[in-house]
């Protein structure tokens, strides 16, 4: 059976961001490597930074001085274990948490969630707003984002202009690099340059990504994925999504639209998917697929007005009570999920597969017979299959991933600004 974790972050070490092994990322500027090493460690001595990066202490001192002058890191007192209180305390390096604050927002079919974190990744405030599962026009979406952002800022005791960026996630096909939403179940419009439009509306930089990538970023920055060079996350909620990390970096594909596991085909001319095509994995596993099956198989036509959540809870209760039809619905969905997971194993051979999302409450989807079927469908190499873990983070996971997206973009901008400044100084000499 897979391992169940209620909060992957509870087992994580201090700091945030990927724990990239020394010497594995030497192409990044030293100044940036130093900053990311400090951020990942939480607190670390200069000598340890030099040791981890295999560079001279003098080089680290120079880079640290630049980062301190820029207000990005600071020296903090660090008491060694068993150290007497007298004498001068040891000095370590840490991210200057108050230097910046960013927000993360997840827009979904059922509710919108938001968080604000500081520059060191510490949670400051969060907020949830329930909504009706209807697609929004662009003006409605902008109003919903503004309302939620103002609510979470009020909780944090800050103004919107004090934010250095906003990460935004939503289901669908998103070109993260250009900030364009090609299609989303929560939007009526298609091909919308949402990052630029939302940024102009809110007055802060906005970065947009697919929601499954946000879960993956949350695992990479705050969860078990921090120590893994490669892993896959499969999300099952209103839809089926996937995120993939390769060499400590999230992989999005050549056009930023890769890893759409939910829209891989498992049945030619099969069930209708909400993307408009037929036979997608999502059309057999996602919540609307389970609700559709329940309405037909259990003759629940009179429950059309009920929310999908209530319908699925009723279906699950019937299955637990021994209803054969209810169990067969979950069993069928589990078999299709096994097909999808075996394809992930065959294609990517990840070191770990994480199943995440609200539907992980339904243990029939990852029951022993489902996982056994995945074993049978994966190529028989004689080597062990990747372990599977169930992570029930809760709704705020998605927003935390959005905040990680904003932190990552902010870091890149700040480091690029430092490089440009250094280049100008060299040119002037």
Per-residue pLDDT tens over the stretch 221-275: 998 899 999 999 999 888 899 999 999 999 998 888 889 999 999 999 999 998 8
Among 1, 4, 39, smallest CA distance to 392 is for 4
pLDDT at residue 129 above 50? yes
For residue 256, what are the contacts with CB-CB under 8 A and spacing of at least 6?
Answer: 174, 175, 176, 177, 178
Tens of pLDDT, residues 56-87? 999 999 999 999 999 999 999 876 555 555 55
Give the model's confidence band at 426: pLDDT under 50 very low, under 70 low, under 90 confident, else very high: very low
CA 41 to chain centre: 20
String of DSSP letters for 216-270: HHHHHHHSGGGG-SSEEEEEESSSEEEEEEETTEEE--TTS----GGGSBSSTT-
Tell me, what's the pLDDT at 428? 47
pLDDT at residue 127 above 60? yes
CB 216 within 8 A of CB 250: yes
For residue 305, what are the contacts with CB-CB under 8 A and spacing of at least 6?
Answer: none
- The SS3 assignment for 181 reads strand
CB 234 within 8 A of CB 242: yes
Tens of pLDDT, residues 18-31? 887 765 555 678 99
Tens of pLDDT, residues 288-308? 899 888 888 777 765 666 777
pTM equals 0.84
Tell me, what's the pLDDT at 429? 45
Tens of pLDDT, residues 312-368? 888 889 889 999 998 999 999 999 999 999 999 999 999 999 998 877 778 877 788
- CA torsion through residues 306, 307, 308, 312, sign: negative
> Does 8-98 carry CATH code 1.10.10.10?
yes
Report the C-alpha gap between 32 and 1 in whole angstroms. Answer: 41
Multiple choice CATH, 225-391, 1.10.10.60, 1.10.340.30, 3.30.420.40, 3.40.50.300: 3.30.420.40
String of DSSP letters for 290-308: HHHHHHHHTT-GGGTTS-H
Q: What are phi and psi of 231, to 5 degrees?
A: -165, 165
CB 163 within 8 A of CB 114: no
CATH architecture, range 99-216+396-416: 2-Layer Sandwich (3.30)
Indicate where the chain has its CATH 3.30.420.40 domain(s): 99-216+396-416, 225-391
Indicate where the chain has its CATH 1.10.10.10 domain(s): 8-98
Among 242, 326, 331, 318, smallest CA distance to 280 is for 242
């Amino acid at each position: 059976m897979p391992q169940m974790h209620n909060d992957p972050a509870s087992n994580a070490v201090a700091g945030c961001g990927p724990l990239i092994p020394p010497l594995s990322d030497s192409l990044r500027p030293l100044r940036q490597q130093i900053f990311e090493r400090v951020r990942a460690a939480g607190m670390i001595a200069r000598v340890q930074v030099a040791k981890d990066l295999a560079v001279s202490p003098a080089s680290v001192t120079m880079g640290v001085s630049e980062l301190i002058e820029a207000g990005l890191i600071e020296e903090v007192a660090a008491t060694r274990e068993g150290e007497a209180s007298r004498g001068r305390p040891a000095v370590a390096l840490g991210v200057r948490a108050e230097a910046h604050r960013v927000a993360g927002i997840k827009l979904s079919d059922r509710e919108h969630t938001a968080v604000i974190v500081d520059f060191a990744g510490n949670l400051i405030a969060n907020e949830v707003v329930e909504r009706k599962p209807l697609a929004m026009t662009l003006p409605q979406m902008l109003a919903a984002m503004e309302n939620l952002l103002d609510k979470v800022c009020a909780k944090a005791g800050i103004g919107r202009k004090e934010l250095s960026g906003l990460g935004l996630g939503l289901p669908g096909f998103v070109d993260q690099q250009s900030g364009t939403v090609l299609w989303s179940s929560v939007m009526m419009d298609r091909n919308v340059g949402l990052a630029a439009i939302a940024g102009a509306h809110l007055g802060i930089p906005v970065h947009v990504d697919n929601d499954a990538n946000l879960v993956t970023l949350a695992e990479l920055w705050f969860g078990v994925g921090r120590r893994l060079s490669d892993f896959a996350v499969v999300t099952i909620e209103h839809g089926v999504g996937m995120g993939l990390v390769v060499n400590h970096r999230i992989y999005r594909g050549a056009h930023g639209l890769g890893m759409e596991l939910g829209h891989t085909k498992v049945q030619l001319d099969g069930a209708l998917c909400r993307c408009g095509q037929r036979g997608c994995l999502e059309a057999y596993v996602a919540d609307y697929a389970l609700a559709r099956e329940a309405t037909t198989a259990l003759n629940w036509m009179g429950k059309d007005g009920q929310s999908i959540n209530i319908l699925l809870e009723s279906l699950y209760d019937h299955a637990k009570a021994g209803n054969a039809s209810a169990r067969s619905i979950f069993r069928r969905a589990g078999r299709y999920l096994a097909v999808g997971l075996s394809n992930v194993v065959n294609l990517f051979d990840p070191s770990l597969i994480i199943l995440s999302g609200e539907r992980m409450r339904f243990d029939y989807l990852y029951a022993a017979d489902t996982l056994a079927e995945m074993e049978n469908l994966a190529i028989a190499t004689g080597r062990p299959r990747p372990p599977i873990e169930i992570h029930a983070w809760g709704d705020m996971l998605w927003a935390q991933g959005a905040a990680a997206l904003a932190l990552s973009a902010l870091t890149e901008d700040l480091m690029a600004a430092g490089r440009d400044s250094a280049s100008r100084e060299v040119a002037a000499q």
